[in-house]
């Protein structure tokens, strides 16, 4: 347990104990980074402690099996796994060692055992695990994790937890930045392959990319771009500072593809709005997500190769948006997954049924 969490547990225990005196408190839900707060719920006598995972079932599976992997098969860390020896977890796409979470690459690094600790707690004192995913996007592992297993909490896929944005191409609402993006999209012709690119300075002074930004470019990210870039691309794309209305952009009829680092929330937003993806993972579990999404069984994304020169990126964009080979396969599969996502959240759908089961269990219980 971290020092910060240990310091907070007594106060949280007191709050939960006080709530139980006036409220029918039947469950305590937290995400994986707050999992040590289950100690407070236990001390306060909350009957059920539920873990919410804002990731997919592939990442959850890694956490469930990580303690065993750390104890036996990865003496130095995942970086030591040979290319021919990917991590194979039940029902999951094989993941090469270098694609695993960066903190797990080297067991002598500061983050390795912290992640293992979180993984160990996923099985201890947890009554249920809620996951922001849906069966159709990872069916094999969903089928396996839905089955009871001794020593593992029941798993409930309850996603996609994404607010569906209507594609009415309405640019009259929202901030000025939002209006700029949507008005620009409104003017695009079909298959024009224009780009909308967000440029943002890093907010953390410790990040490696911070060294590429001087004081002025941190105030104005455009100063980081090559000289003349904005002029050269003004007829083929739009570059905006800091943030863009991502769900509105994905829902817009002019959007034909999404170049994404494959954060899971962004991937779900893309699937819900039926937008095929071009995968460019950067950190965290994004490499695993990219492997899963671009794998033959899912085929919701094309994966950029290791060397990402401009010609390769341009060719991959063309393939994704209008190609007749892999691009066509991805577009077809994303359309299928979009329908499956909606189906899972309707009354009687798999995700709604899973959530109903869990809530009914809570309702039938007590706060003892």
Give the closest residue to 196 by CA, choosing from 147, 248, 154: 248
CB 276 within 8 A of CB 334: yes
Say whether pTM exceeds 0.85. yes
pLDDT at 203 (0 to 100): 55
Contact 130, 145 (CB under 8 A): no
CATH architecture of the domain formed by 176-344: 3-Layer(aba) Sandwich (3.40)
- φ and ψ of 240, to 5 deg: -120, 155
Smallest CA-to-CA distance from 142 within 66, 51, 57 is with 57
Residue 359: other Cβ atoms inside 10 A: 12
Backbone angles phi, psi at 150, to 5 degrees: -55, 135
- Using only C-alpha atoms, the chain has a radius of gyration, in whole angstroms, of 22
Handedness of CA 203, 37, 31, 288 (dihedral sign): positive
Backbone angles phi, psi at 322, to 5 degrees: -145, 10
Q: Is 168 in contact with 252 (CB distance < 8 Å)?
A: no
Dihedral over alpha carbons 130, 143, 365, 64 (to 10 degrees)? -50
pLDDT at 107: 86
Distances (CA, A) of 193 to 69, 180, 368: 44, 18, 59
pLDDT at 213: 45
Residues 225 and 99: their CA atoms lie apart, in Å, by: 29
CATH 3.40.50.2000 residue ranges of the chain are 3-161+345-364, 176-344
User: Residue 205: what pLDDT?
Assistant: 52
Q: What is the reported pLDDT for 210?
A: 47
How far, in Å, CA of 225 to CA of 200, rounded?
11
| CATH code at 3-161+345-364 | 3.40.50.2000
- The closest of 188, 21, 56, 47 to 129, measured between CA atoms, is 56
Q: How far apart are CA 171 and CA 342, in angstroms?
A: 25
Q: Count the alpha carbons within 13 Å of 299 in the hemisphere toward its beta carbon.
A: 13
With CA atoms as reference, report the closest residue to 69 among 107, 31, 35. Answer: 107
d(CA 308, CA 119): 34
Tell me how far apart the alpha carbons of residues 304 and 245 are, in angstroms, rounded to a whole number.
24
Q: How far apart are CA 302 and CA 183, in angstroms?
A: 28
So what's the pLDDT on residue 89? 94
**Overall size of the chain counted in residues:** 368
Looking at residue 297, what is its pLDDT? 76
For the chain (368 residues), the mean pLDDT of every run of 10, in chain order, is 80 95 93 91 93 97 93 78 87 92 88 91 93 96 94 95 70 67 83 65 51 50 79 83 85 92 96 96 94 89 87 92 93 97 94 94 76
Cα of 41 vs its chain's centroid, Å: 27
For residue 94, the Cα-to-chain-centroid distance in whole angstroms is 18
User: Rounded to whole angstroms, how far apart are CA atoms 120 and 300?
Assistant: 31
Say what the pLDDT of residue 224 is.
Answer: 72
């Amino acid at each position: 347990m971290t020092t910060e969490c240990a310091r907070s547990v007594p106060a949280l225990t007191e709050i939960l104990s006080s709530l139980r005196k006036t409220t029918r408190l039947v469950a305590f839900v937290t995400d994986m980074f707050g999992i040590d707060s289950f100690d407070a719920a236990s001390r306060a006598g909350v009957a059920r402690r539920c873990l919410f995972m804002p990731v997919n079932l592939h990442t959850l599976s890694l956490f469930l099996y990580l303690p065993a992997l750390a104890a036996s098969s990865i003496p130095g860390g995942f970086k030591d796994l040979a290319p021919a020896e990917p991590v194979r977890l039940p029902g999951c796409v094989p993941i090469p060692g270098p694609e695993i979470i960066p903190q797990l690459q080297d067991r002598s690094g500061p983050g390795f055992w912290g992640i293992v600790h979180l993984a160990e707690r996923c099985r201890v004192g947890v009554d249920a695990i809620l996951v922001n995913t849906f069966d159709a996007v990872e069916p094999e592992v969903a089928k396996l994790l839905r089955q009871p297993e001794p020593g593992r909490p029941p798993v409930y896929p309850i996603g996609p937890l994404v607010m569906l944005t209507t594609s009415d191409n309405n640019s009259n609402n929202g901030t000025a930045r939002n209006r700029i993006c949507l008005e620009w999209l409104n003017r695009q012709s079909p298959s024009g392959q224009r780009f909308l690119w967000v440029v943002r300075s890093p907010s953390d002074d410790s990040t490696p990319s911070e060294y590429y930004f001087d004081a002025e470019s941190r105030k104005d990210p455009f100063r980081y771009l090559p000289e003349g870039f904005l002029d050269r691309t003004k007829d083929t794309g739009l570059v905006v500072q800091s943030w863009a209305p991502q769900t509105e952009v994905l829902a817009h009829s002019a959007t034909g593809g999404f170049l994404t680092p494959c954060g899971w929330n962004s991937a779900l937003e893309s699937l819900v709005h039926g937008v095929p993806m071009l995968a460019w993972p950067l950190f965290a579990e994004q490499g695993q997500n990219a492997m899963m999404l671009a794998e033959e069984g899912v085929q919701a994304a094309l994966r950029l190769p290791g060397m990402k020169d401009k010609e390769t990126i341009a060719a991959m964009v063309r393939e994704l948006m209008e190609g007749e080979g892999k691009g066509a396969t991805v577009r077809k599969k994303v359309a299928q997954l979009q329908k499956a996502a909606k189906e899972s959240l309707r009354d009687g759908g798999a995700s709604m049924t899973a959530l109903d089961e869990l809530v009914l269990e809570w309702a039938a219980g007590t706060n003892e």
